[in-house]
Amino acid sequence: MLDPAGPAAAEIARGGWLMTGLFTAVWIGVLLLLWHTLRRRDAGAGPRRPERLILWGGVALPLVVVAALLVYGTLTSARVTGVGSEPDAVVEVTARQWQWHFRYRDANDQVIGESIDELAMPLGRMIEFRITSEDVIHSFWIPRLGGKVDAIPGRINTLRLRADRDTPMRGQCAEFCGLEHARMLFPVRVIAPEALAGWLAERDARPADAPPSAQAPAGRAPPRHGASEDVL
């Protein structure tokens, strides 16, 4: 999160640093007021109108700070979610216990390939992710590219992300979805746009494994990654 590789994550990081600085300033202000009050108490002098301190410090200041953050968050939400940006391609994301299935579509909405537990993103291209689930609620998250979005059965949620740096990244499920949740990871490969077709051609076109039966013990489906495997 502190080393963003795309515009959405950069906006989230900027907002995080802004709130950290703002709340640090408020905290220092509170300590200064406390120190000033203790000094007056030692000198035997009390505030002439103590209600003003409650009005300004307890009502006005919180309202101004919270309102400012609300306005800032509203104005930046479009950049975080990618609303208003035209996508260059579409990736359909289907989550399941315990696997990620990616289907790639071009600008003409034609399927050009699929991949399992591994995501490729063309460098510098805005990708619209259409996210759903086959079984329980999962959550699609690539921390260095943007925020997380739930994958909900029977519903398609959209998220637009762009990778501006050719660097190793990891995606993961951010919603507890069963006993193998911690292994529901996938590497993100940022590649040149012209290399995407070749990368997809090398992927195994095998279908997703059949989901565990209702009689199978929870969490006993074969994991996609080993317990200590580095997906990067």
Q: What are the tens digits of pLDDT across the range 134-180?
A: 989 999 999 999 889 999 999 999 999 999 988 889 999 999 988 88
Q: What is residue 45's predicted lDDT score, i.e. its pLDDT?
A: 62
Task: Report CA torsion sign: 205, 119, 128, 126.
Answer: negative
pLDDT at 19: 84
Residue 122 is predicted with a pLDDT of 93
- pLDDT in the model for residue 166: 87
pLDDT, tens digit (0-9, with 9 covering 90-100), for 71-91 = 888 887 777 777 777 888 899
For 223, the 3-state DSSP assignment is coil
Could you list the beta-strand ranges (E) of the chain.
89-96, 99-105, 111-116, 119-122, 126-133, 138-141, 149-151, 157-162, 169-173, 185-191
pLDDT of residue 202: 85
**Segments of the chain with pLDDT less than 50:** 212-223, 226-229
